[in-house]
Amino acid sequence: MRLLATISGQSKAEAFVAYLLTQQISTHVEPGSPDDQWEVWIRDENRLDEARQELESYLVNPGDTKYNDAVRQAQLIVQEKRKYRQEAARNVKSGRSVFRGGPAGMGSVPPITLALIVIAAIVSLITNFMNPMKGNSFGILVQEEMQFVSTRDFLTSNKDPAASLKKGEIWRVFTPIFPHGHTLHLLFNVLAIIQLGQIVERMEGTLRFALIVLITAVISSLLQGLLPEKLFGYPFFGGLSGVVFGIFGFLLMKSNLRPEIGIRLSQTSVIIMLGWMVAGFTGMMGPIANMAHLGGFLAGVLLAYWDAQQATASGRK
């Protein structure tokens, strides 16, 4: 934000900034001194030169009727923006409202989001967080059947990560999202899926959301499971993180491509999510399924882009 000018007289300052608003130049006005001086600040510094040109025109002829007419036009613009924000607010949930059930009409956690949380918690507990005890035969079975490749197939195939898939066990491209390595791993993913998942599920509907989860889970698992270790791949992984980043990528891209839906992610949330993903590749975070994170994120972004293209072509909102 940059200071453009100091104008004498409140009515004159209001007329000038109203005109700037009709030119879609956003300003901030505040009193500069006790003798009715008003400072006009430009919010978007990229429009500063344009605003200076408008200021020169104003100073040449401040009594031009276009400035007085602009006051009425600006009032209409402000009313329209206020109405838009009110409509958009109905579609936006804060983190606090998520855990309180949200405002009227939001209800409880929707079915697919809830199912992901419940299944992940149950599987993680049964498998003792991917480390079942020797006497826990059921936990060992669940762990073996849900991981990307069974330990036996991996060892007997000269460490081929696709060994179980080649036998037709295609469920393994999806099921690794459920077991988690430790309590905090599960907790962080559950919190993230509650925050992001229920927003997208309500926005897209249960069936479309289920497809988003399936596609992001499959792509993230294939990248993580099949790539060699030198490219950050490893077949023995688990967790909802790939799906979380997929939903995040979908929401981030769709909210930017179609701002009229009234959904937005805070800048802080975006920085934290992208920062966490990048930090994983540095090795500072310990063993992390980095390619699952990246694969899920890219899948979500591409799905949102495809969705926006389809919406434009069909006229769907």
- Asked if 211 contacts 205 with a C-beta cutoff of 8 angstroms, the reply is no
Sign of the torsion angle spanned by Cα atoms 181, 185, 191, 193: negative
Sign of the torsion angle spanned by Cα atoms 227, 252, 218, 150: positive
Percent of the chain at pLDDT exceeding 90: 54
Q: Is 185 helix (H, G, I), strand (E, B) or coil?
A: helix
What is residue 157's predicted lDDT score, i.e. its pLDDT?
96
- Mutual orientation of helices 206-226 and 241-257 as an angle, nearest 10°? 120
Q: Is the pTM of the predicted complex or chain greater than 0.85?
A: no
What is residue 101's predicted lDDT score, i.e. its pLDDT?
41
Contacts of 137 (CB under 8 A, 6+ apart): none
Is the per-residue pLDDT at 90 higher than 60? no
146 compared with 102, residue with greater pLDDT? 146
Sign of the torsion angle spanned by Cα atoms 132, 138, 142, 145: positive
- Assigned CATH for 2-89: 3.30.70.2350
- Asked if 20 contacts 47 with a C-beta cutoff of 8 angstroms, the reply is no
What is residue 100's predicted lDDT score, i.e. its pLDDT?
40
Over the chain, what is the mean pLDDT?
86
What is residue 54's predicted lDDT score, i.e. its pLDDT?
87
What is residue 179's predicted lDDT score, i.e. its pLDDT?
97
In the chain, list all ranges with CATH 1.20.1540.10.
96-314
Residue 31's H or E segment, with its range, is strand 27-33
Task: Sort strands 2-8 and 37-42 into parallel, antiparallel or unpaired.
Answer: antiparallel
What is residue 82's predicted lDDT score, i.e. its pLDDT?
67
Q: Which CATH number fits domain 96-314: 3.10.290.10, 3.40.50.1820, 1.20.1540.10, 3.30.300.10?
A: 1.20.1540.10
Residue-wise burial string across 33-52, b where 16 or more C-beta atoms lie within 10 A, e elsewhere: eeeeebbbbbeeeebeeebe
In the chain, list all ranges with CATH 3.30.70.2350.
2-89
Return the top range by mean pLDDT from 51-65, 71-85, 303-317.
51-65
Q: Is 174 helix (H, G, I), strand (E, B) or coil?
A: coil
Contacts of 167 (CB under 8 A, 6+ apart): 153
Contacts of 279 (CB under 8 A, 6+ apart): 285
What is residue 219's predicted lDDT score, i.e. its pLDDT?
98
CA dist 8 and 36 (Å) reads 6
- Contacts of 59-65 with C-beta under 8 Å, sequence gap 24+, read 62/12, 62/15, 62/16
What is residue 89's predicted lDDT score, i.e. its pLDDT?
52
Residue whose structure tokens are 């104003």: 58
| Four-point Cα dihedral 86, 87, 92, 96, nearest 10 | 40
Residue 76 pLDDT class (50, 70, 90 cuts): confident
What is residue 86's predicted lDDT score, i.e. its pLDDT?
58
What is residue 99's predicted lDDT score, i.e. its pLDDT?
37
